[in-house]
Amino acid sequence: MLKAQQELAKYRWLLILLVPALAICLNFIMFGKEYVTRPGILIFSSLILLLCTSFLSLAQISVANFMRRRQTADRNLVPRMLLAACIHLPLTGLFVTGFFFLYSTLGMFGYHFNLADYGWGILAGAICDVIGIAMNEGIYNYHQWKETTLHAEQLSKEKLQTQLNGLLQQINPHFLFNSLNALSALINESPYDAQKYLSDLSKVYRYLLRTNETELTTLASELNFIDSYYHLLQTRFGKGVMMLKNIQPEDTGMLLPPLTLQLLVENAVKHNTVGKNKPLIIEILSAGDYVLVRNNLQRKSIKVESGKVGLSNIAEKYRLINKTNIEIDESGGYFSVKVPLISTTH
Q: Nearest-CA neighbor of 84 among 97, 70, 95?
A: 70
Is 114 a residue whose pLDDT tops 80? yes
Answer whether 275's CB lies under 8 Å from 236's CB.
no
Report in angstroms the alpha-carbon separations of 62 from 33, 56, 67, 128. 35, 10, 9, 17
pLDDT score of 159: 61
pLDDT score of 335: 94
Strand-pairing partners, residue 334, are: 296, 331
- Evaluate if pTM is beyond 0.75: no
Count other C-beta atoms under 10 Å from residue 217's C-beta: 18
Residue 321 or residue 229, greater confidence: 229
CATH for 190-340 is 3.30.565
Domain map (residue ranges) of the chain: 2-152, 190-340
Q: How confident is the model at residue 307 (pLDDT cuts 50, 70, 90)?
A: very low
Is 305 a residue whose pLDDT tops 70? no
Count other C-beta atoms under 10 Å from residue 179's C-beta: 20
Is 72 a residue whose pLDDT tops 60? no
Q: How confident is the model at residue 304 (pLDDT cuts 50, 70, 90)?
A: low
Average pLDDT on 43-48 reads: 83
Is 16 a residue whose pLDDT tops 50? yes
